[in-house]
Chains A and B, each alone.
Chain A
Amino acid sequence: MSSGILTSARLRLPGRLRSAYIPVLATAGLLAAMFVAGGVRYTGFASGQVVLNVFIDNAFLLVVAVGMTFVILTGGIDLSVGAVVALSTMVSASLMTDGGWPPLLVVPLVLLIGSALGLAMGCIIHYFDIQPFIVTLAGMFLARGLCYVIGTDSISITDPAYTAVAQARIALPGEMAVSVSVLIAVAVAGAAAYVLHYTRLGRNVYAIGGSEQSALLMGLPVARTKIAVYTISGFCSALGGVLFSLYTLSGYGLNALGMELDAIAAVVIGGTLLTGGSGYLAGTVLGVLVLGLIQTIISFEGTLSSWWTKIFIGLLLFAFILLQRLISARRA
């Protein structure tokens, strides 16, 4: 199955570019293989809804990972995403529940806060020439800290409109359904892929990842692009937070703990280089699906103790990465 995808792609793609797509194609093939293996092993696994559930359960992660893709493509990293997700849920919940604000006001405000935070971090990173790791780590502390300042308890969201959106299911043929979040996430991923491939901003992102020095000397707007990238990541995290609050209908300061690592892992599993300049958004989508599918397999397995769960996740991850690496290395 996987080799079929690869060979057909080989026929179509022009000369050398083929090798650049191989990691993504390998990932897609392996993902499909993983799904088939799951279907063979567990009853009820091989259904369309299981796949859709992976999307429903990971819509927020997908959005966050999309933002992270931009950052990583420039060779940076954003550790603040998980905390910004939590902050967004907290701000949304407290404003709507305690403040009685309407969602139509709250959501734009939350998106604005996230973007502003990203913008600020981007500016510090660029103008003061400080490593992204440390700046975004400070951003992570800040956002998480603000959550606790708002409150240490979790807050339910009871706004009827918000609840209605959260519970709405868009029916698909075959008795399947997806949530609104999935549509948003897919739209964001599509838009991001377009931006990365078809706009100057996107190409500048790749150029900076290839070599920031060269990009500067080629007369590209390095400052603007770098700052934009962190702003996008901030925006995506805030949007991820909104989706998260739709998912759980609550806000909580300990939400999304460690999500930055999940997002980074998704991006990197998708074949993007952490050093920047190489990778595709499609890879990120696949990376998120891989992580989601691993989770699903674990819950279908159903008999693993807490520690075996972790060991099993590690093993699955290892098997996946190893195969991906071997396939890519052979074909390249």
Chain B
Amino acid sequence: GCGSGGDTTASAGGADDGKITMGFAQVGAESGWRTANTKSIQESAKAAGIELKFSDAQQKQENQIKAIRSYIQQKVDVIAFSPVVESGWDNVLKEAQTAKIPVILTDRAVDSADTSLYKTFLGSDFVEEGRKAGKWLVEEYKDSTDTVNIVELQGTTGSAPANDRKAGFAEVIGAESKFKVIASQTGDFTRAKGKEVMEAFLKSNPDIDVLYAHNDDMGLGAIEAIEGAGKVPGKDIKIITVDAVKDGMQALADGKINFIVECSPILGPQLMDLAKKVVAGEQVPARVLTEETTFTPEQAKAALPTRPY
């Protein structure tokens, strides 16, 4: 769908100053979200006429560093990558700077003090996603005074989205004492784990009001667990998730999930635009947020037919 728009810009960019080569160091292929992200980047690179060198780091920072180093070796025009972690990039980014290769960060930021090491950061704000989830909850229960029992399914322990989505959510709901997170456990971002953990939650906590899952997949797994326990997901237990992948949107449209915070993997077109500008030496904003929204069941029904991933 988004390829056609990119085509025109591609011919323009290609005509300007020869072919641009971009080295992109992806985190890995740990989730469907990530795969959609990769696909978007590959497709829009093709559409934009940018030659893409792609590498998969298999969730290892050292592999990403190696890949970036090899891009420097191969003298690409621009390097883009989604950092596995926030810290630890100064060395290799300095090397890129010395080699005069501009760097664009995608998906998550790095915590480097020296912001001149990269040109711009394109991506979502995981903390903000957590906040959005929290805000909806606060809004939903604004009339109630009873305690709201929340269970949380966290992402992979220590991973940035898990840390940030937890922090943002806690920040918002922490303001009111009626919200109580009675259990919080990692579900490793997977359906199978999400289901397993939720079943255990249901056994040890008789009255759960709300489930907050750090991604759709864990939420989908948890729905099966809730149904297995004879409860109705979306009614007996309200469910909030993050991501908005197709299966999640379907569940949202079916009323099994109550609210989804979007975290869009479609960074490709924006990234290619930025890359061209950066290579051309144009000024770009230090931070570009992806356009993201939130979905309620009604919005989901409307959005579902055109959902690309």
Contact A257 B88 (CB under 8 A): no
Give min CB distance, B189 to chain A, whole Å.
13
Q: Counting CB contacts under 8 A, is A146 at the interface?
A: no
Q: Which of B35, B69, B159 has the most CB of A within 10 A?
A: B69
Contact A57 B69 (CB under 8 A): yes
Q: Counting CB contacts under 8 A, is B309 at the interface?
A: no
Contact A299 B70 (CB under 8 A): yes
Q: Counting CB contacts under 8 A, is A186 at the interface?
A: no
Complex Cα spacing A93 to B42, Å: 36
Interface residues of A in 301-316 (CB under 8 A from B): 302-307, 309-310
Complex Cα spacing A181 to B35, Å: 35
Contact B66 A254 (CB under 8 A): no
When the two chains form the complex, which single residue of A56, A166, A244, A299 contacts B67, counting CB atoms closer than 8 Å?
A: A299
Give min CB distance, A83 to chain B, whole Å.
12
Contact B91 A306 (CB under 8 A): no
Give the secondary structure class of B's interface.
mixed
Digit string of B51-72 for contact with A (CB within 8 Å is 1, else 0)? 0111110111111011101110
Contact B157 A249 (CB under 8 A): no
Complex Cα spacing A249 to B90, Å: 7
Complex Cα spacing A304 to B38, Å: 12
When the two chains form the complex, which single residue of B60, B75, B88 contacts A154, counting CB atoms closer than 8 Å?
A: B88
Contact A167/B94 with A252-B158, A300-B70, A305-B56 known, Cβ cut-off 8 Å: yes
Q: Counting CB contacts under 8 A, is A19 at the interface?
A: no
Contact B90 A44 (CB under 8 A): no
Q: Counting CB contacts under 8 A, is B74 at the interface?
A: yes
Q: Which of A148, A154, A256, A296 has the most CB of B within 10 A?
A: A154
Contact A254/B65 with A249-B90, A306-B35 known, Cβ cut-off 8 Å: no
Query: Residue of A at shortest CB range from B67?
Result: A299
Give min CB distance, A59 to chain B, whole Å.
10
Digit string of A123-157 for contact with B (CB within 8 Å is 1, else 0)? 00000000000000000000000011000111111
On chain B, the residues within 8 Å of A152 by CB distance are 157-158, 162-163
In the complex, how many residues of chain A place their beta carbon closer than 8 angstroms to a beta carbon of chain B? 47
Contact A255 B61 (CB under 8 A): yes
Complex Cα spacing A253 to B156, Å: 12
Q: Place the interface of chain B in its size category.
A: 35 or more
On chain B, the residues within 8 Å of A167 by CB distance are 91, 94
On chain B, the residues within 8 Å of A244 by CB distance are 62
On chain A, the residues within 8 Å of B113 by CB distance are 156, 158
Give min CB distance, B142 to chain A, whole Å.
31
Q: Counting CB contacts under 8 A, is A278 at the interface?
A: no
Interface residues of A in 34-72 (CB under 8 A from B): 44, 47, 49-50, 53, 56-57, 60
Complex Cα spacing A294 to B62, Å: 14
Interface residues of B in 90-142 (CB under 8 A from A): 90-91, 94, 111-113
Complex Cα spacing A93 to B88, Å: 11
When the two chains form the complex, which single residue of A153, A157, A300, A304 contacts B86, counting CB atoms closer than 8 Å?
A: A153
Complex Cα spacing A70 to B65, Å: 29
Contact A156 B111 (CB under 8 A): yes
Digit string of B6-49 for contact with A (CB within 8 Å is 1, else 0)? 00000000000000000100101100000100100010000000
Contact A300/B74 with A57-B69, A248-B61 known, Cβ cut-off 8 Å: yes
On chain B, the residues within 8 Å of A148 by CB distance are 157-158
Give min CB distance, B10 to chain A, whole Å.
18
On chain A, the residues within 8 Å of B54 by CB distance are 302-305
Query: Residue of A at shortest CB range from B83?
Result: A154
Give min CB distance, B125 to chain A, whole Å.
16
Q: Counting CB contacts under 8 A, is A2 at the interface?
A: no
On chain B, the residues within 8 Å of A257 by CB distance are 59-60
Contact B61 A295 (CB under 8 A): no
Contact B67 A254 (CB under 8 A): no
Contact A299/B87 with A50-B73, A253-B158, A306-B56 known, Cβ cut-off 8 Å: no
Contact A57/B158 with A249-B90, A302-B54, A303-B54 known, Cβ cut-off 8 Å: no
Q: Counting CB contacts under 8 A, is A298 at the interface?
A: yes
Digit string of B134-168 for contact with A (CB within 8 Å is 1, else 0)? 00000000000000000000001111001100000
Contact A252 B91 (CB under 8 A): no
Query: Residue of B at shortest CB range from A167?
Result: B91
Contact A247/B56 with A53-B73, A163-B90 known, Cβ cut-off 8 Å: no
Contact B74 A57 (CB under 8 A): no
Complex Cα spacing A177 to B158, Å: 34
Complex Cα spacing A104 to B23, Å: 38
Q: Counting CB contacts under 8 A, is B85 at the interface?
A: yes
Q: 10 closest pairs, A vs B, by CB?
A: A248-B88, A250-B87, A250-B88, A306-B29, A302-B53, A156-B87, A306-B56, A299-B70, A154-B87, A154-B85
9 inter-chain pairs at a CB distance below 8 angstroms, sorted by A residue, are A44-B75, A53-B73, A153-B163, A154-B85, A156-B90, A253-B157, A257-B59, A303-B52, A305-B38
Interface positions of B (Cβ within 8 A of A): 23, 26, 28-29, 35, 38, 42, 52-56, 58-63, 65-67, 69-71, 73-75, 85-91, 94, 111-113, 156-159, 162-163
Contacts A44-B74, A53-B70, A299-B53 given; 4 further ones with Cβ under 8 A? A157-B87, A248-B91, A305-B42, A310-B58
